[in-house]
Amino acid sequence: MAFIEELLAKESYTKSELVELLQVTGDGRAKLFSKAAGIKEKYLGNKVYLRGLVEMSNVCRKNCLYCGIRSGNQKVNRYNLTDDEIVDAAIFAWKNKYGSIALQAGEISTREFATRVEGLLGKINAATYGELGITLSLGEQDEDTYRRWFQKGGIRYLLRIESSNQELYKKLHPNDSLHDYKTRIECLKSLRRVGYQVGSGVMIGLPFQTLEHLADDLLWMQEMDLDMVGMGPYVEHPDTPLFEYREQLLPIAERFDLSLKMTALIRVMMKNINIVAPTALQAIDPLGREKAIKVGANVVMPNITPGAFRNDYKLYENKPCVDDAADDCKNCLDARIQLAGHEVGYGEHGDSPHFYQRKNAQ
């Protein structure tokens, strides 16, 4: 096992070393996980920060081949929360000292939507005295829109690259200008220019995906100098084109294991970024998020979407918490995080230390 110890002691990794590390088992795997846990403890302490997740709308202009709410899925009951419903959810998060919320929706890129979100951010900040840290996850927009939202108090933005490999990206999306890899990269650069804490990430265990792809994804995240990472297992959805390839997928337990290793490795590689324990992990294992927290994740996104709509925002199968109310998740998560030996950072934004490190260096 000396080999693994030597590898883990290195300051940076090559692609082939990462491929090696993604395959460790037994004692080597335990060493990787404990290294990642130690780094998190040293750089970020034992706090886990919350982002109350509001799924604003499942209307989407895109047709990603893996996603349950893709525009081509006619079985979806489309909804659009009202501003009041969203502001109420934000007030719930604020009263319960969540510290932050995340607004997520399918991708809508009209001028009306940009203006609506601008107004909504104003309403949320007015109702919560500007105390919440607001993360946006609203897809690809032009730089001007990103800037308008930033000026209204959006401070972080999540836009996953899904796969950093262009060829694989093409296999996961319709081949048209609406689903263009280069546009996505440009959006991530715009977000950085505007001043957001920028987050991205990938799905793990996709059809056609290899360990080499995943190693490249890790190097890509490092190269992009991300402030936040959110990545999780691919979970097939029956009403999507990619469902056809389900026989070729890794068994779900292996996708889960790879997701934990990816989380641990990105923590080892990027010591002071924020890493989300993805909800999709819990679709596979009831203790999925806790396991991610133990190997390097420090952010959890409890769902605070009004209960009646949670079932309609199904990107993948077995989505957890769809039958729970926001209050249920609050108590449940607090207990879970404590059981994982961590503490919830109530009332704190829990911003990415990496972001401030870069800013102060400029």
Residues near ligand FES (CB under 6 A): 302, 321, 324, 328-329, 332-333
Candidates 160, 213, 261, 267: give the one binding ligand 5AD (CB under 6 A): 160
Interaction between residue 67 and ligand 5AD (CB under 6 A): yes
Which of ligand SF4, ligand FES, ligand 5AD, none has residue 312 at its interface (CB below 5 to 8 Å by kind)?
none
Number of residues that bind ligand SF4 (CB under 6 A): 10
Q: How far apart are CA 193 and CA 8, in angstroms?
A: 34
Beta-strand runs (E) in the chain: 47-50, 52-57, 100-105, 133-137, 154-158, 197-200, 203-204, 228-230, 232-233, 274-276, 299-300, 343-344
- Tokens representing 103? 């607004």
106 sits near ligand SF4 (criterion: CB under 6 A): yes
> The dihedral of CA 335, 203, 348, 93: what is its sign?
negative
**What distance in Å separates the CA atoms of residue 266 and residue 215, rounded to the nearest whole number?**
10
CB 315, min distance to ligand 5AD, A: 4
**Residue of 67, 124, 231, 269 that binds ligand SF4 (CB under 6 A):** 67
Residue whose entry in the numeric block shows the structure tokens 């870069």 = 358
Q: Which residue has tokens 């919440």?
A: 132
> Alpha-carbon distance 221 to 256, whole Å?
20
| Residue 310 contacts ligand SF4 per CB under 6 A | no
Per-residue contact flags (x/-) with ligand 5AD for residues 168 to 207, judged by CB under 6 A? -----------------------------------x----
What distances in angstroms separate CA 223 from CA 255, 256, 270, one per listed residue?
A: 24, 25, 10
Least separation in angstroms between residue 175's CB and ligand SF4 is 15
Which residues would be at the binding site for ligand SF4 (CB under 6 A)?
Answer: 60, 62, 64, 67, 69-70, 106-107, 139, 315
Which residues would be at the binding site for ligand 5AD (CB under 6 A)?
Answer: 66-67, 160, 162, 203, 234-235, 237, 280, 315-316
